Amino acid sequence: MAAVLAYGHASSVPGSLSVAARKQCLAGTSASLRAGALTMARRLLVVGGDAGGMGAAAQARRRDPRLEIVALERGNWTSYSACGIPYLVSGEVAELEDLVVRTPQQFRDTLRIDVRMRHEAMAIDLDAGRVEVRDHGHGRTIRLPFDELHLATGARPRRPDLPGIDEPFVHGVQTLDDAAHLLAHAEASACRDIVVVGGGYIGLEMAEAFAVRGAKVTVVEGGPQVLGTLDRDMAEPVVHAMRRAGIEVLLETEVVAFSGARPGREAGGGGRTSGGTVEMAATALRADLVLLGLGVVPNAELAGDAGIELGPKGAIAVDPRQHTSAGGVWSAGDCCASYHLVSRRPVHVALGTVANRQARVAGINIGGGYATFPGVLGTAVTKVCSTEVARTGLTEIEADRAGLGYVCATIESTTAAGYLREASPITVKVLAERGTGRLLGGQIVGGRGAAKRIDVLATALTATMTVHQLVDLDLSYAPPVSPLWDPVVIAARRAATEVDRAC
């Protein structure tokens, strides 16, 4: 019995007591806990069956074989690569199942995790240590108690409040269930005309995917540039690449409404079974399918309604161990906030890499270990129409917002020695803090082999290197993979000169 208690204590976090332990403190006695410890295992309840949830569940299981783990997923899939959805649409990936890393059954069999599919958490009662759950499969509502609760409710595509936004031909793409709906729609109708609303990563990737399928694709972006997480000068080459690939891109064009096609109204006819019109101020576009690429909103209402503290953009606030403001409640993934290593402020960054890393940290802590999540750089990369794009740290706008003075340097080079056929153009932009020369961020656009160079800048940012230190990096060189001075170093050297000049 003593061993069981010691074990229970070891898994508690200072300042973040589990509900059971908290109750024990409040009651001033441990009798009820002791009585329970003999008969019941500690229960972790996980809400959300993708990376942020199941990654934590798997880690917790590895650390604590005695933990009872119940995981709720409101959809039909666990642990999948949402980032792979565009390649499913383009046909490079054959089946939805190819994107699944681990099925519910595999979680049950190999990790003894009680995964309950089509179960949706509706409300959290923190005082009672209980979650109200809607079992969609059986049309019933149940209550599940927990000792530790892990919230990984993810995010959902932003849906602007426009007339017709709920028309069935308007799709967001976030989950594998979304992808299944989309593919069903695309296969049922001709999908010759596609409109993507918003020029974020997923929007551009989906635009390309449908273009590869042979559709006529138009991207409608309200702002002056695509890829708003890049500086405008770095986003421009991406638009050129898309236009060269036959994708129409309309900038500074606001969508004002969507209207579904009604029987008899449609001009083209043919095999089209659905679709409608995307209306803008001055024009309108016929669309068999509309995709929303306007970014995401954290699914944090469940936490917020329970009184758990929310942070930037309404994402769940967490401490470095991924613990929320409520004792015994943890969070990871697209639903929760992060700390930005360069701006030194809380941010909401919804990326698979971050979700997985946060989940690992949460799981280690839930399982009784100790781990902290140091923070994010907002490192991101994509490939659009053969052009690779990458960013890390702060852009000019972000540095301004963070109150940091900076200099910029942008250079053009090649991905390989200029005399070789495989050499592609590459543009590297580097931001450095005025005075100190501290690297603040970088952006890269170019041909094959360009984008992954961003990782050098991400590593240097983590080490808070100056651009002067970057100049001295002993990076690899051979004609097929790099010019003699790596483009990242050339950019850093230019930035160092600017820093010295601005002093």
Interface positions with a second copy (CB under 8 A): 81, 83-84, 87, 92-93, 98-99, 341, 351-354, 356-357, 373-383, 388, 390, 392, 417, 419-421, 449, 451-456, 458-460, 462-463, 465, 469, 472-482, 484-486, 488
Task: CB nearer to a second copy: give 22 or 468.
Answer: 468
d(CA 490, CA 472): 11
Least distance (Å) from a second copy to the CB of residue 75? 20
Q: Which residues pair with 290 in a beta bridge?
A: 170, 195
Tokens of 389: 């794009």
Task: CB nearer to a second copy: give 21 or 457.
Answer: 457
Task: CB nearer to a second copy: give 76 or 497.
Answer: 497
Tokens of 361: 């940290």
Name the CA dihedral angle for 346, 349, 354, 358, rounded to a multiple of 10 degrees: 40
Task: CB nearer to a second copy: give 253 or 415.
Answer: 415
Least distance (Å) from a second copy to the CB of residue 99? 7
Measuring CA to CA, which residue among 384, 376, 379 is closest to residue 293? 384
d(CA 99, CA 341): 31
191 assigned to active site: no
d(CA 27, CA 141): 30
Q: Which residues pair with 194 in a beta bridge?
A: 217, 289
d(CA 459, CA 392): 10
Least distance (Å) from a second copy to the CB of residue 471? 9
Least distance (Å) from a second copy to the CB of residue 42? 25
Task: CB nearer to a second copy: give 3 or 463.
Answer: 463
Least distance (Å) from a second copy to the CB of residue 337? 15
Place of tokens 């060189």: 477
Distances from the Cα of 189 to the Cαs of 192, 276, 278, in angstroms? Answer: 9, 12, 17
d(CA 58, CA 362): 10
Measuring CA to CA, which residue among 449, 307, 436 is closest to residue 383? 449
Backbone torsions φ then ψ of 114, nearest 5 degrees: -80, 85
Least distance (Å) from a second copy to the CB of residue 7? 21
Catalytic residue among 83, 336, 385, 503, which? 83
Task: CB nearer to a second copy: give 161 or 474.
Answer: 474
Task: CB nearer to a second copy: give 265 or 452.
Answer: 452
Contacts for 449 with CB less than 8 Å, ≥ 6 apart? 388, 415, 416, 424, 426, 481
Least distance (Å) from a second copy to the CB of residue 136? 29
Contacts for 28 with CB less than 8 Å, ≥ 6 apart? none
**Catalytic site residues?**
83
